[in-house]
Structure 1
Amino acid sequence: MITSLKVIIAGGGIAGLTLANALEQANIDYVLLERRDEIAPQVGASIGMLANGCRTSLVVQNLFTNAWTGYAFAFGDRQKILQVLYDNLKDKSKILVSKNLKTVSQHASGVTVICEDGTSYMGDILAGADGVNSKARSEMWRLADEVDPELVKNDKTSLESGYQCLYGIASSSSGLPAGEVDVGFNDKRSTIAIVGKNDRTYYFVFEKMDQVYKSPHIPRYTEADRDRFAERHGGMHVTEKVLFRDIHKHSVSSTLVGIETASYKIWTWGRIACLGDSAHKMTPNAGFGGNSAIESAAALANSIKKLSDRSNNQRPSEKQIIECLQNYQKSREVRAAAAIETSSLLTHVQALATWTHSLFAHYGLRILGDFFETLQSDMSVGATLIDYLPPPEISLLGHMPFNPEQGQGHKENLLLRAVFALPFLVFSAFAYRLVDSALLNETGIMTGSAWSSNDIANSSLTSANLGFGGQKNSTAIMPDELGPAWNVSDPAAGFRTASFLAYFGVVLAIWSLEAVRRCNALMPVQLPIVFAFFSQRNGLGLISPLYYFVHWVLTPIDSFKSTDMRLTRMNFTRAILPSLLMVYYLPLVQAYLLPEICQRQTWMQIWQWFPVTHSLAQYALSKIWKDTSMQDKIDAPKRDVPTIRYTIAIPATISTIVWMRALLADTASVVQILLRPTFAEAATSAFAAMQWNYLLAVASSSLWLLYFAWDAKAAGMITQSWIALPAALTAATLVLGPGGTLGAAFLYREYVITEKRHKGALTMESVRRRALESKKQE
């Protein structure tokens, strides 16, 4: 049954027709007024349908699926999408053409629209979907000015243009492969060419204008202007072999415009609401414009449907309508603003607008090979869903489930995360004080922060002339606290040192893995060589809290919204363990087992350069295997899991064995081993300082794991209680030792980010579960 609530839609474009479809599905009465004399004219425009638009649209179907979202990228004539949306409507009598809106009036009983042909229409809500030069929006401004002249003052001048764009459709691909998208980066210019079916090519040529023009002074262009523009840019490369003129000469239609952008603050006033380009206008470089319009139509339909349901088939009051429209804007304005900002960024980057954009295009994009995919994921994952309809089944099948609680508009505040992560910095400051005190109060054979070859030679440890290869060596820079590793006079101290070094191996394996994880691209944690070098020189207890601070702050739980974002580069991942065995563990074994102190020292000197040698060895070994990351993220986002398991399990097992051996060699209890010596002793002994470094490193790793548990529990990805989690971590530390526990906990973390979904994720399982819960409640 059609409700008593009636909506007037101004504009029969993407936003207007999507809203019409959505209202029809909700049995809400409407009329659509289109100023053109046909509903789907061919004006040379094209549109790219992304996952967020496809998922929201009621009628767009895809023959091919994308492993990421379930939807393939579809590009085609705007005319065809409009025709599909129109054809899907059951009652086409509600679609009226040649209806150019003239004036709007609001009154207590509704809103009245008068068209230029003298016809008038009355309803409860006016939805302005009539484009960037919206008459509905200008009428909304006029009516708002009568009440508050300052309300929309800034919005009236927010529309601007800094780029020209020649867009069109060509009947030939000029040799470009079907399905290919080519983006050309040029100085103050850029090109985009998309080849569709039957060699149909959609092209865009952008040029930065001499200044940014504000409305109403944005240039308008004639056909002669268009032809001159095309001739001037004809020699620009679309690809290495194809010039723009090769495509343009086959043009079916083309238009030159100043591409406008605007982020309006006021979308709704009274009974009027704007959507699509009339509310949020963006450049076309990211392809977000039409898809954002579809989302806004869905969001407005959701809000109107809720209003209708609350009204119990009675006409809602003006107050209820105003609240309904304001809720619509609140649900969409953050994501729309992000889409505008992202689109503008791509426009500048592709045109190399400034030296920073040029630097990012030349170097940043090479490192971030999937930069554009990441932008699309942030825009797609939180796409608006029509609440009162079941989600399309295809949208539940991808690696990245749609999730209204993630993506743009739901990003965590990194500054706030940094505040929460301050305990890591406290640990680091404590360790710094410890190291500083130890250096100021050192006695005996220690000098500075390193063993001196001369002091070692003159000490009671040996009478040999020690250095690299048994000779004096001024580059012997072994940290003071590692002396017990090759000092046979105190086996218990030696095993405690060995326990620390074995623990360090687990940490290094984890850092090496995180460095090649997709979600950590261009982050400081991609440089484990830096963290490892300073940990080796200044103490793991000082540096590891800094690493965990940076990692936790920059890697919130939505970093794993897609399964492939946790993926590591397989060729580098495979190289981690053999590299560690060669350059980290082998020298340590020699330093402990060889009979001569001279030989032990030599191997310790070889070992001490592991931050550098591990990075070099890992890089060299990675060349043995092919880099399959681009294919893995599509077809096998969990392919690296077995490799990660043994890469962590083997160092963790080594650490546990050494821990148990240390317990057997020491008469003290486990607690005494971890907490002995006292902090006061640490200020006068490098070995005591090492023990405290060990403790602080273990504490910071444990805290990092608990912080992850905090994120995962908030996301509904783990359900264990806050009593069980720390208790399990403590018990495991006593049994497996710190290194074994860290390895086991990290692998559990890997299981969570690989197999568990955020509580808001829409998957087959979650949708079925919610449907069952809803039935039980009924």
Structure 2
Amino acid sequence: MTRRVRAIVIGGGIGGLAAAAALDRQGWEVTVLERAPSLEPVGAAISLAPNALRALDVLGVGDEIRDLAAWQGDGGLRTPAGRWLVRTSAAAAAARFGGPLVLLARATLVDRLAALLPAGTVRTAAAASVTDPGGRARPARVTTAEGELEAELVVGADGVNSRARTALFPAHPGAVYAGFTTWRVLIPVPGVEFASHETWGRGHIWGTHPLKDGRVYAYAAARTPAGERAPDDEKAELLRRYGHWHDPVPAVLAAARPADVLRHDVHHIAEPLPAYHRGRVALLGDAAHAMPPTLGQGGNQAIEDAVVLAHHSRDLPAYTGARLARTTAVARRAVRVARLNMAGNRAAVALRDTAVAALSKAGPALFLRGFDGIADWRPPYASGKEHAGEQR
């Protein structure tokens, strides 16, 4: 039996929930279908730059997120022995981009986005697939375990291995392995004080950042073969790789339990899609433009997508026009940064560190220039209500 609905969002992650909230503010009746049994996010914490915070302002939740999050930027870049290559300033970043870079738990952001939606909007344990993208004269069709749904608009926000993307562009090669894996922990580390930092080694990076709630977010990345896993457990693997690095890395590892450590290989879309829509279906976030995490922009770009999609929800070619070039450029920049900070050749690492240190001495503005054109983005409208009538 086929049932008609107005808008469906496939995927209840950050991008999907933001899209649902933005569409709701534009007057759409939205159903979110999430295949997992709960909205518990994959991952530990998320960095939000001013561009994403401005998009969250459109949803009416930006100030709340700023209040819950820790400002980032007072710290810098180090070598594994502890030498500072770059000192950064949160105030300088906020002044340059018109707002702070902040960090908070992914679960907190997911909870706040879900709270923006009417009761009953989100259905978990509800896998869905696009069976017909629809067209000008016909609705899109989505198949679920409970039957088929027709919708005026479908949003594919189902992640890096998106089935919605495959349905729209079956000839596209999809996401490919980026050449490295990541580990993340989000834990209390009592009695340890440190300056927020990222550390670049040979084919390895580590980052340690405090959250406002007192926990510590730490992440690591290393060049490994795809699919490789530790012979014992991932905490032991981190100790082997990073246990001899500068403080507070050993203290963080000592406080972590094996169950606290998340590990995921990194995949990205190396070949851009020809469009972010087909028929009545639009893609956003990792489904459209999965990128390495080296700029911290994956989730940020998904939130941007959400508010721009709502703005162009009756004109999906305009959505593609607004997002394809921008996100492709950001993704390519993330790939270039990954080549830099994951360099494994000893001579290349020495040259990299010397160049980064010299750049830092020239002034913090030069180092921050890497986020120009990214963090200074502004949404196409200030709030979600004023355009609701014309979007219906």
* Common fold: TM-score over 0.5: yes
Structure 2 equivalent of residue 247 of structure 1 = 252
TM-score (norm 1): 0.41
- Partner SS for 2:220: strand
The equivalent of 2:298 in structure 1 is 289
Q: How does 1:93-112 map to 2 (within 5 A)?
A: 93-107=120-134, 108-112=137-141
Q: For residues 199 and 336 of structure 1, do their structure 2 counterparts lie closer, same or farther at Cα, with a shift above 3 Å needed?
A: same
- Map of 1:92 onto structure 2: 119
Query: How many percent identity over aligned positions?
Result: 21
Residue 102 of structure 1: how far off its partner (Å)? 4.0
Q: How does 1:259-408 map to 2 (within 5 A)?
A: 259-263=266-270, 264-266=272-274, 267-304=276-313, 307=314, 324-354=315-345, 355-356=347-348, 358-368=350-360, 369-370=363-364, 371-386=366-381, 389=384
List per-residue Cα deviations over 1:206-260 (Å, max 9, x = no partner). Answer: 11235xxxxxxx42647945244223214242xx433x33202323622112111
CA 1:56–1:358 in structure 2 vs 1: closer, same or farther (change >3 Å)? farther
Query: In 2, are the aligned partners of 1:10 and 1:128 still within 8 Å (CA)?
Result: yes
Superposition deviation, residue 351 in structure 1:
2.8
Distance in 1 separating the partners of 2:284 and 2:318: 13
SS class of match (1:344)? helix
TM-score by length of 2: 0.79
**1:322-350 deviation per Cα after TM superposition (whole angstroms, max 9, x unaligned):** xx222212211222122212222332322
Q: Counterpart of 2:109 in 1: which secondary structure?
A: helix
Amino acid of the residue matched to residue 366 of structure 1? A
Q: CA RMSD in A?
A: 2.7
Q: What SS is found at the alignment partner of 1:156?
A: coil
Match of 1:139 in 2: 167
What is the CA–CA distance in structure 1 between the aligned matches of 2:343 and 2:111, rounded to whole Å? 37
Instruction: Rate the CA distance shift 1:44–1:292 in 2: closer, same or farther, 3 A.
Output: closer
Aligned residue type for 2:22: A
Q: Is the partner of 1:265 in helix, strand or coil?
A: coil
What residue is the counterpart of 2:389 in the other structure? Answer: none
Q: Distance in 1 between matches of 2:232 and 2:128?
A: 31
CA positional deviation for 1:122: 1.5
One-letter amino acid of the counterpart of residue 227, structure 2: P
User: Higher relative contact order at CA 8 Å, sep ≥6: structure 1 or structure 2?
Assistant: 2
CA–CA distance in 1 between the matches of 2:343 and 2:163? 35
Q: Does residue 1:164 correspond to 2:175, yes or no? A: no
- Of 119, 123, 133 in structure 1, the residue corresponding to residue 151 of structure 2 is 123
Q: Distance in 2 between matches of 1:357 and 1:327?
A: 43
Pairs aligned (count): 344
CA gap 1:43/1:293 in 2 versus in 1, 3 angstroms: closer
Amino acid aligned to 2:264: V
Q: Match of 2:99?
A: 71
In structure 2, what is the Cα distance between the partners aligned to 1:114 and 1:103? 6
Aligned residues of 1:277 and 1:293 also touching (Cα < 8 A): yes
Taking the aligned partners of 1:279 and 1:85, their CA distance within structure 2 comes to 21
1:190 is paired with a residue whose SS is strand
Where in structure 2 are the equivalents of 1:343-742 lying within 5 Å?
343-354=334-345, 355-356=347-348, 358-368=350-360, 369-370=363-364, 371-386=366-381, 389=384
Secondary structure of the equivalent of 1:380? Answer: coil
- Please identify which structure carries the higher strand content: 2
Task: Give yes or no for contact 2:174–2:269 (8 Å, CA) kept in 1.
Answer: no
**Distance in structure 1 (CA, Å) of the matches to 2:350 and 2:378:** 31
Structure 1: which 5+ residue stretches go unaligned? 143-152, 211-217, 308-323, 392-778
Sort the Cα spacing of 1:338 and 1:29 in 2 relative to 1 into closer, same or farther, 3 A. Answer: same
In 1: Cα distance, 2:349 partner to 2:239 partner: 27
- Does structure 1 retain, via aligned residues, the 8 Å contact 2:235–2:261? no
Question: Which of 217, 225, 230 lines up with 1:202 in the alignment?
Answer: 217
The aligned residue for residue 703 of structure 1 is none
Relative to its length, the structure with more helix (as a share) is: 1
Q: Which residue of 2 aligns with 1:38?
A: 38
Aligned residues of 1:31 and 1:96 also touching (Cα < 8 A):
yes
What is the letter of the counterpart of residue 298 of structure 1?
A: V
**Which string of whole-angstrom CA distances, capped at 9 and with x for unpartnered residues, describes residues 426-482 of structure 1?**
xxxxxxxxxxxxxxxxxxxxxxxxxxxxxxxxxxxxxxxxxxxxxxxxxxxxxxxxx
8 Å Cα contact 1:126/1:271 also seen in 2: yes
Q: Decide whether the 8 Å contact of 1:171 with 1:199 is kept in 2.
A: yes
SS at match of 1:383: coil
Distance 1:226 1:331 in 2: 41
The Cα offsets for residues 147-199 of structure 1, whole Å up to 9 and x where unpaired, read as: xxxxxx3x31552220111112121166233xx42111111111111111243
Query: What is the alpha-carbon distance in structure 2 between the residues aligned to residue 198 and residue 382 of structure 1?
Result: 28
Task: Please name the residue that 2:49 is paired with.
Answer: 50
Mind listing any 5+ residue stretches in structure 2 that lack a counterpart? Answer: 72-90, 387-392
SS at match of 1:378: coil
Code of the aligned partner of 2:351? L
C-alpha distance in 2, partners of 1:86/1:10?
A: 14
AA aligned opposite 2:31: V
Query: Residue 233 of structure 1 corresponds to which residue in structure 2?
Result: 241
* Residue 67 of structure 1: how far off its partner (Å): 3.2
Deviation at 1:358, TM superposition (A): 4.3
Code of the residue aligned with 2:319 in structure 1: it is Y
